[in-house]
Amino acid sequence: MKIEFPGQSVIVSGAAHGFGRAIAQAFAARGARVYACDIRTGSLAETVQGGAGQLQAAGLDVTDRAAVEALVQRVVNETGRVDVVVNNAGGVLGQVGRPLEQVSPAEWQAIFDVNVNGAFWLSQAAAPHMKARKYGRIVNISSGAGLGVSLTGIQAYASAKAAQIGLTRQLAHELGEFGITVNNVAPGFVRSNPTTERQWESYGPEGQQRLLQNIALKRLGSPDDIAHAVLFFASEYAGWVSGQVLSVDGGK
């Protein structure tokens, strides 16, 4: 199976590190013109420098609807098309698990703003351009937390990722008649960024071993494992696949 994207325009949010960086670089290596987006512009430079092909950085706060619309319009102005959108921006925003009565409204809302609203704004902005060409691929990056219980213990994170999965299924039915597929990758625990490194260290040797024993393959995955699932959903091999959630977690 050879997957390539020559001439296609791809937008990847949350591309400053981890999954987003691996996804952006994977598309660029396969011929796509990639806009790697993130609010952390300094780290985006590392994504671009470590990539190949047509990979460029684009500062973006996905919670800013106007900024999202401007970015999509820029891509259309420069390339004439938007073929693939990968909604990877998200995470826990530095929060840690606490009893629910200690969670402030602002903390709850912040996680929803990035993980759910951001995916909605970017999909909403790209959809008219995809509809016009009768083609498009939207891939959302959720989490195993959206399908079960979050290892972080963060209520908003588990809820937001579940909401993103619901959004995936709803948009798949709304956009399918226009040749647009919408799918979701639900990663398991991967040491992919400073937050997951801190989480891994917090488990200690015994906790780390328990986590590994609960994985069928008895090992952690890598950001590239997540990128490969995204490439499949964005490829012609997944042309009749939509509204699906693919758990990439080593087997649970």
Active site residue 157: yes
Point out the catalytic residue in the list 135, 157, 203, 237: 157
User: C-alpha angle 64/70/72, rounded to 5°?
Assistant: 105
From CA 35, how far away is CA 197, in angstroms rounded? 26
Q: Are 147 and 165 in contact (CB under 8 A)?
A: yes
> CA-CA-CA-CA torsion for 69, 75, 76, 77, nearest 10 degrees?
100
What residues are annotated to the active site?
A: 157
